[in-house]
Structure 1
Amino acid sequence: MSDIVILRTSAPALILRPWRMEDVPSLVEAHRDPVLRRWTGSAVEEHADAVRWVQAQERGWAAGERFGFAVLDPSADTSLVGNVVLKDVTPGQASAEVGYWTAAHARGRGVAPRALEALTSWAFDTFGTGGLERLELLHQADNAASCRVAKKSGYDFDRTLPALPPGFPREGHLHVRRGDA
């Protein structure tokens, strides 16, 4: 799998590529951020946790059901600025889910919407002929930043979802983007 490169005239480029073991130190550093830990379900607190997390990303790629991308900023010595993921991909299934996070030092620079747009285009280009028609974006209802990212990325608000502890402890929002949009 080659990297996905975003080139825009109005914003700096980003590189999206599958996670690698060399990303472990940057992943641990990103997860030291309490804001990131509040909104994500993964617990990466030390080197061993990050190794397991990257290995899980690699297994998802190998199984063809979860495609996690490290988001890198080539203008900042290719530093890690975030993560985007396409998950719950099943051949012949009409929908899949997307997710993302942005490292603290990169917030407010449009990283999440640009990376999500690239992932969305890649997902429909790659899996649309196999039946993928819609992508779903879920976030906790009180995460206003994720609502803004969803809107900027063309994901329309669909409905509020009830809490489903322990994995989804609070009400959530479901946003949807269709392949023909």
Structure 2
Amino acid sequence: MPDITTRLRADATPTAPALVLRPWAASDAPGLVALGRDPALRRWTSLAVDDESSAVRWLREQRQGWERGHFAFAVEEARPSGTGGPVAGHVVLKNVVPGAASAEVGYWTAERARGRAIAPRALRALTDWTAATFARDGLTRLELIHQTDNTASCRVAEKSRYALTAVLPPQPPAHPRDGHLHVRHLTEAPG
């Protein structure tokens, strides 16, 4: 299993700085409370952070998840010094089970960071790391599920080379509405 200190990077582009992906930390609680107020995150995600105590609980769950095959990363835009700035998003690899052929990915982006290709670049970095870390153990397929009416998430999936393969019926509570299932096979070239 990967170490909780794992850090990933996504290269800079001509129009955007590099990204730093790092495990969530207890010090992220105040910023997470502010992010949790975003109506779009409340609509499209299961992020239920209303105050400092719910932020602390969510962050503890993310860190503990590393022991159970749930690898959550805070996404930051890199500063010129190479360190990260304020949290711009979140990517997660879920349901990694030894010997299982598939797992699931998810993501969200902070309001101030939307429309700047942060989610697709972070998702590609997570996908490449997943292939390098888990493919030799039999993981060959990543699934991405979002609500059918979340067109922005659909664009992120497509930009990250996750092909739309099915429309799924609701599966509450995680997926309360019809969803799109996108799939990426880890045997594909990175990127």
> TM-score category by the smaller chain?
over 0.9
Q: Shift of the alpha carbon at 1:9?
A: 4.0
**1:62 alignment partner, SS class:** coil
Q: Shift of the alpha carbon at 1:167?
A: 2.7
Show the counterpart of 1:30. Answer: 35
**1:177 alignment partner, SS class:** strand
CA contact (8 A) 2:12 2:19 kept: no
Matching residue within 18, 37, 44 for 1:39: 44
Q: Shift of the alpha carbon at 1:3?
A: 1.2
Counting aligned pairs with the same residue, the percent is 54
Question: C-alpha offsets along residues 46-72 of structure 1, whole Å, 9 cap, x if unaligned?
Answer: 110110001001111123x10000001
1:113 aligns with 2:120: yes
Unaligned residue ranges in structure 2 (runs of 5+): none
1:78 aligns with 2:82: no
Structure 1 distance, partners of 2:71, 2:136, is 17
Question: C-alpha offsets along residues 145-172 of structure 1, whole Å, 9 cap, x if unaligned?
Answer: 0000000000000100001233321100
Q: Shift of the alpha carbon at 1:41?
A: 1.2
CA contact (8 A) 2:36 2:47 kept: no
Report the number of matched residues. Answer: 180
1:17 aligns with 2:22: yes
Show the counterpart of 1:171. Answer: 178
Structure 1 distance, partners of 2:87, 2:47, is 17
Matching residue within 67, 70, 82 for 2:71: 67
Structure 2 distance, partners of 1:147, 1:169, is 17
Structure 1 distance, partners of 2:181, 2:106, is 12
Unaligned residue ranges in structure 1 (runs of 5+): none
**1:57 alignment partner, SS class:** helix
**2:67 alignment partner, SS class:** helix
User: Where is the helix percentage greater, Structure 1 or Structure 2?
Assistant: 1
Structure 2 distance, partners of 1:136, 1:28, is 28
